[in-house]
């Protein structure tokens, strides 16, 4: 009996060794799961994995919905009703897909906020941050293109307003509207174009950039927590005093790599310690998404009526601040709120690592960054709130 068990164990080991050698799985395992993490890495670093989990959830539920969805104005609304009422678990799948989109937006903002507070966009992770900003834009584009697909009143009129905003731009405005709508008005071409973007172009772009982002994260390693990275260096006595304490020599170059390797010596491996935290946060995200579906259901208004000009359009919550911003630039100034301020803010976010070259990572040593970050959050929260109550 013992010899039989031993032989079975030997065969399993031999099979595992054969698969590892032929598939190249062992180097992948060593590079991703067996890698050492710096000291102090905790659950705040797990929001990135939760985003990947939500993207996978969106892909799986999206494939299910696409099997039954018909992207034409005549049948789009009816196909959504069929999914909700006739397809087994169709309402649940659509609910997970609907609230999963909001979860992706929330988790993306939290993930980027953590990176900002921790100074994780600094050397040598500048490109990692910039790819992350592009991923944020793609996540918002997913929400925008998916918004029209139910072809109900809210979807139709919110998209009507959303696609009209680029039309306020000088010179290129009319071209931008025609490209987005497939013509001058919302119709069959618009729905077909948005559906193609939502299920073909954007998933390919997002999936490819996620792989690039993950490669950069693994290649450079995750950033050590600032309180660990700058341990032993006294804090300045005054809030804006950034010169009384000499800048660390290990902010970049070989000194950086030496210090990072030193912090990894006492750290834990990604598997199983950080993997458990990643899985825990992913499960909590799934519970939150399902909980939102159980509490609020999934919205579906009456079928879109292009003649109902009395309908007051309202975008989804993550676009409310942009719609509210336009109210501060009425008439001929609308193009400033639509085509100047948002791109400027986006470029400022994208190129943040190139002009914030301070050697410090701790937010307590970056007072200007702290003030600007809080100001941005307050402005977006205020505009979102005003848009929600108006």
Residue 108 has a pLDDT of 96
Residue 34 has a pLDDT of 86
Residue 242 has a pLDDT of 66
pLDDT tens digits along 283-329: 999 999 999 999 999 999 999 999 998 898 888 899 999 889 988 98
Give the gyration radius of the chain's Cα atoms: 25
Asked if residue 204 is part of any domain, the answer here is yes
List the domain range (segments joined by +) for residue 270. 38-225+246-315
Give whole-number Cα distances, 371 to 193, 364, 375, in Å.
Answer: 41, 11, 6
CB 150 within 8 A of CB 77: yes
* CA-closest candidate to residue 343, choices 172, 175, 204: 172
Asked if residue 89 is part of any domain, the answer here is yes
Asked if residue 200 is part of any domain, the answer here is yes
Decide which of 5 and 102 is more confident.
102
pLDDT tens digits along 381-390: 999 999 998 7
* One-character DSSP codes across 187-238: SHHHHHHHHHIIIIIHHHHHHHHHHHHHHHHHHH-PPPPHHHHTTTPPPPSS
Residue 91 has a pLDDT of 96
Task: For the chain, give percent helix, strand, coil, nearest 5.
Answer: 70, 0, 25
Asked if residue 388 is part of any domain, the answer here is no
Is the pLDDT at 5 greater than 70? The verdict is no
CB 155 within 8 A of CB 223: no
pLDDT band at 2 (very low <50, low <70, confident <90, very high): low
Q: What is residue 33's three-state secondary structure? A: coil
Residue 235 has a pLDDT of 75
Cα–Cα distance measured from residue 160 to residue 163, given in angstroms and rounded to the nearest whole number:
6
pLDDT tens digits along 227-279: 999 988 887 777 666 666 777 888 888 999 999 999 999 889 999 889 999 99
- Segment among 125-134, 153-162, 235-244 with least mean pLDDT: 235-244
Decide which of 153 and 245 is more confident.
153
Beta bridge mates, 152: 303
CB 373 within 8 A of CB 314: no
- Segment among 2-6, 67-71, 123-127, 225-229 with least mean pLDDT: 2-6
Residue 234 has a pLDDT of 81
Rounded to an integer, what is the distance from CA 221 to the centroid of its chain?
20
Asked if residue 358 is part of any domain, the answer here is no
pLDDT tens digits along 74-116: 999 999 999 999 999 999 999 999 999 999 999 999 999 999 9
Residue 3 has a pLDDT of 64
Q: What is the mean pLDDT of the chain?
A: 91
Residue 382 has a pLDDT of 96
Q: Quote the Cα angle for 136-162-349, to 5°.
A: 30
Is the pLDDT at 1 greater than 60? The verdict is no
Residue 103 has a pLDDT of 97
Cα–Cα distance measured from residue 237 to residue 244, given in angstroms and rounded to the nearest whole number:
8
Asked if residue 167 is part of any domain, the answer here is yes
pLDDT tens digits along 323-349: 899 889 887 788 888 888 999 999 999
Residue 55 has a pLDDT of 96
Bond into 154 cis (ω within 30): no
Number of domains in the chain: 1
Residue 126 has a pLDDT of 96
Is the pLDDT at 23 greater than 90? The verdict is no
List the CATH number of the domain containing 250. Answer: 1.20.810.10
Asked if residue 369 is part of any domain, the answer here is no
Residues 6+ apart with CB under 8 A from 346: 133, 137
Helix then strand count (H, E) for the chain reads: 18, 0
Cα–Cα distance measured from residue 381 to residue 374, given in angstroms and rounded to the nearest whole number:
10
Decide which of 179 and 125 is more confident.
125
| Stated length of the chain | 390
Asked if residue 10 is part of any domain, the answer here is no
């Amino acid at each position: 009996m013992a010899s039989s068990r031993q032989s079975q164990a030997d065969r399993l080991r031999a099979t595992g060794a054969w698969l590892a050698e032929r598939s190249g799985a062992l180097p992948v395992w060593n590079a991703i799961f067996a890698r050492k993490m710096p000291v102090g890495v905790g659950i705040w670093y797990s929001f990135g994995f939760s985003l990947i989990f939500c993207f996978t959830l969106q892909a799986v539920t999206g494939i299910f919905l696409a099997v039954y969805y018909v992207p034409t104005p005549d049948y789009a609304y009816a196909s959504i009703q069929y999914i909700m009422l006739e397809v087994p678990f169709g309402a649940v799948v659509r609910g997970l897909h609907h609230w999963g989109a909001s979860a992706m937006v929330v988790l993306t903002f939290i993930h980027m906020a953590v990176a900002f507070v921790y100074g994780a966009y600094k050397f040598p992770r500048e490109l990692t941050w910039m790819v992350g900003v592009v991923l944020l834009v793609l996540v918002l584009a997913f929400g925008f293109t998916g918004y029209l697909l139910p072809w109900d009143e809210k979807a139709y009129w919110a998209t009507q307003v959303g696609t009209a905003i680029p039309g306020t731009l000088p010179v290129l405005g009319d071209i931008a509207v025609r490209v987005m709508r497939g013509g001058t008005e919302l119709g069959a071409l618009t729905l077909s174009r948005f559906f193609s973007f939502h299920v073909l172009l954007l998933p390919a772009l997002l999936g490819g950039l996620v792989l690039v982002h993950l490669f950069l994260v693994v290649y450079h390693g995750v950033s050590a927590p600032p309180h660990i990275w700058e341990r032993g260096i006294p804090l300045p006595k005054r809030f804006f005093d950034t010169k009384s304490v000499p800048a660390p020599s290990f902010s970049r170059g070989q000194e950086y790599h030496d210090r990072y390797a030193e912090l990894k010596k006492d750290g834990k491996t990604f598997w199983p310690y950080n993997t458990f935290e990643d899985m825990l946060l992913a499960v909590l995200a799934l519970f939150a998404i399902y909980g939102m579906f159980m509490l609020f259901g999934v919205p579906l208004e009456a079928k879109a009526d292009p003649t109902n000009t009395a309908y007051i359009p309202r975008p989804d919550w993550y676009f409310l601040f942009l719609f509210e911003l336009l109210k501060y630039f009425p008439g001929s100034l609308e193009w400033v709120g639509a085509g100047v301020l948002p791109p400027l803010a986006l470029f400022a976010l994208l190129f943040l690592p190139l002009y914030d070259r301070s050697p410090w990572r701790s937010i307590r040593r970056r007072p200007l960054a702290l003030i600007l970050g809080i100001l941005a959050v307050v402005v977006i929260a205020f505009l979102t709130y005003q848009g929600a109550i108006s």
